[in-house]
Amino acid sequence: MRLRCAVLDDFQNVATEVADWSVVADDVEVVSFDSHLADETALAAALADFDIVVTLRERVPFPGSLIARLPRLKLLVASGMRNSVIDYAAAEAHGVTVCGTASSSTPPVELTWALLLGLARGIVEESGALRSGGSWQSTVGADLHGRRLGLLGLGKIGGRVARVGLAFGMEVHAWSRNLTRERADEVGAELAPSLEDLLANSDFVSVHLALSDRTRGLLGPAELALLKPSAYLVNTSRAAIVDQDALLDALHSGRIAGAGVDVFDVEPLPAGHPMRTAPRLLATPHLGYVSRANYATYYGQAVEDIRAFLDGAPVRRLP
């Protein structure tokens, strides 16, 4: 009897197209879910008959209460090698193996620049006006060359964002609590003396920090008030790093020129969420990791994880 595998949040219905599942086809029946199951009761009911679950990034929490309601679950595969919404202790207690996959930093770097450039040059407004017969040249673009790019975090993604900024001729400054001058020098960035200095003196600020107790709510009302009225904020990291109410207030009041956001406090974003209608906001539905090459890695290695588990030698185990 074949095992059953659920692939969650396959919104584009590509999970079985971008990877070769034939290596497990004799042993596993794959069922793809193209809509999000946010309620734990709905998840427990939908997944009750599955032995394997492949979950996309951190879209679906797997707390101990949910794991306990899935007695058939034996393998949970998460895309990426870090997942903060899985209760690993509960998984171990219930005999559930948890495995991960590689994840490329390239897609979020590219999306960061798509948002930043879109904001700077009013791409959405101008394109919409052109297609609808509206005003010809209604905005004045913000220059990148010679302007200051402030990066919160200079890790794998932040470092690559920095190098692109330098290629545009920008002054790149960076700050995080543990950032060293040596690391800043590696990518050609200046080490900002403080968070406050970086915010007050940057023309563009981009967030590239991991979410933790120290970074949650890092940019609150007081911090956002330090930004120039002409400054733009981009967040492709985690929504909780930026106080969402404070950001909405800054956008509605015009205290900043605009924001580019790919991450939200609730995902998928509910229909009536205020982020959907906020002014001066360029928003995308968490596309940072969504690219064909990255999906091929996620699902290709998910198949490898499943095959290895079936063979009794699990790979890429988490945490």
Positions annotated as catalytic residues are 238, 267, 286
Q: Kindly state the tokens that stand for 139.
A: 């905005």
Rounded to an integer, what is the distance from CA 191 to the centroid of its chain?
25
Q: How far is CA 89 from CA 42, 63, 68, 79, 210, in A?
A: 23, 10, 12, 19, 22
8 A C-beta contact, residue 77 and residue 53: yes
Q: Give just the sign of the alpha carbon dihedral 207, 213, 214, 218.
A: positive
- Write out the H or E segment, with its range, that includes residue 253: helix 244-253
* φ/ψ of residue 106, rounded to 5: -65, -50
Virtual torsion, Cα 230, 236, 237, 239, nearest 10 deg: 70
Query: If we measure between CA atoms, which residue out of 166, 195, 161 comes closest to residue 178?
Result: 195
Structure tokens at 103: 């994840």
φ, ψ for residue 41 (rounded to 5)?
-65, -40
DSSP 32: E
